[in-house]
Amino acid sequence: PDNNAPPMPWFGMDIGGTLTKLVYFEPRETNRRELDKETEILKNIRRYLTRNSAYGKTGRRDVHLQMDNVTIRGRRGTLHFIRFPTSEVGAFLQLARSKGMATLVNTIYATGGGAYKFEVDFIKEVNMNLSKLDELDALIAGVLFVDSMNPQECYYWAPPDSITSQDTPPYLEASLSQYARKPFDFSNPYPFLLVNIGSGVSMLVVNAPNDYYRVSGTSLGGGTFLGLCCLLAGCSSFEEAIALAAAGDNTTVDKLVRDIYGGDYERFGLRGDLVASSFGHMCSAERRAKVSREDLARATLVTITNNIGSIARLCASNERLERVVFCGNFLRVNPLSMKLLSYAMSYWSRGALKALFLEHEGYFGAVGCLLHYDS
Ligand code: ADP
């Protein structure tokens, strides 16, 4: 063990616009001497974090994402993935304080806007210095590290054999349910487009670990999806919005090419079942009176997802990239958006682009922060 290593506990934190992501490194107990060195407070914190999967009212540990056998600064251990709403930072600090965090002299690496916004609160409440890192640097470092440690990390959605990218209508319900998740070998990744769908969206061209730039973004992201679902369908959680969308039908909300043409717009190869105007049917009072919450949630999801898909596709073709990697918590428990993105990428590029996804979705910025204990 490295005697100059910073004191435990080691956390990486990403305090985002909607969710705070916390990655905790649990060191493997190496020998008696080390165990004895661990203070009671540290032991209690470790036990509290690793023996529970819910903390307070809104903190959750994503147990299915836990990574064992990770090495950081020569120490082997386990990574634990925890999240809570950023609106609950105050409650988190109270909890951390009640567990004795304030008595440990500590610096944690943090990113996201909240690392600036809440810096003073961290010092006051738990005596923690936030060492701030850039969120895009952290994001990329996190993606590359997690992918190198987990052979299952990167995957794609394969369409059923009966479907080719040229000839299938985008929203054919039956075809989406037949998409199957398959592992993708990401060991030779460069160059690729990284699309992070959080509250908002950032798109980065990544040429090498330390060679990237932000090409584009959009404010129409995961926050827009959830905000509109709350307004239009009276949702009160992301999970509820996703469940409604999964049960809905957007064609009662969106105006399709066939609603305007009576069929395909053949001259430019636009099929009748493509959306011509998102929410276009909602100009009619009669249709508004009949529309369901499920259909509104579905149309919101399709609108936001396809908009991100078309911007990503334009960026990728402009930059001559073939692989587009999507991450961010908008894709959490949201296979529908992943399949729509997979379909759209391949359909509109005539099969030239491949949509890829990552198992640890929204945690890469926090992992990137944790890696700073390594340097
Ligand atoms: P940020 O860093 O901006 O908070 P994230 O990558 O954490 O970004 O993604 C936030 C988005 O993830 C939300 O806008 C929402 O669409 C989606 N989301 C997934 N799970 C949740 C959740 N439990 N609560 C709120 N939003 C969630």
Question: What gap in Å lies between CA 208 and CA 140, rounded to an integer?
Answer: 10
Q: What is the pTM of this model?
A: 0.95
- Other beta carbons less than 10 A from residue 65's beta carbon: 17
Q: Whose CA is nearest to atom 24 of ligand 1?
A: 238
Probe ligand 1: pick from 88, 199, 220, 361, max atoms within 8 Å of CB?
199
Q: For residue 14, what are the β-bridge partners?
A: 21, 111
What does the pLDDT look like over 19-63, one tens digit per residue?
Answer: 999 999 999 876 666 666 678 889 999 999 999 999 999 999 999
**Overall average pLDDT of the 148-155 stretch:** 96
- What pLDDT, on the 0 to 100 scale, is given for residue 370? 97
Q: What is the pLDDT of residue 166?
A: 53
Predicted complex ipTM: 0.99
Which of 11-15, 155-159, 168-172, 176-180 has the weakest average pLDDT? 168-172
Most informative mutation of 13, 14, 15, 19 for ligand 1 (most atoms within 8 A of CB): 19
Q: What is the mean pLDDT of the chain?
A: 93
Report the chain's terminal Cα–Cα distance, integer Å. Answer: 15
Token pair 């709350």 in the structure block, residue: 230
Q: Supply 247's token pair.
A: 């049960």
Cα 254 to Cα 219: distance, rounded to the nearest angstrom: 21
Catalytic residue among 26, 135, 294, 361: 135
Known catalytic membership, residue 34: no
Q: Average pLDDT in the 215-238 region?
A: 98
Residue 353: DSSP 8-state = -
Give, in order, the Cα–Cα distances in Å from 23 to each of 10, 142, 267: 8, 11, 53
Q: What is the per-residue pLDDT across 333-375, written as a single tens digit (0 to 9) for each?
A: 999 999 999 999 988 888 899 999 999 999 999 999 999 998 7
Q: What is the pLDDT of residues 70-84, one digit of tens each?
A: 999 999 999 999 999
Secondary structure (H, E, C), 84-127: EEHHHHHHHHHHHHHCCHHHCCEEEEEECCHHHHCHHHHHHHHC
CA 161 – ligand 1 centroid, Å? 33
Question: What DSSP character marks residue 7?
Answer: P
Ligand 1 atom closest to Cα of 224? 14
pLDDT tens track for 166-200: 555 544 556 788 899 999 999 999 999 999 999 99
> Rounded to whole angstroms, how far apart are CA atoms 295 and 292?
5
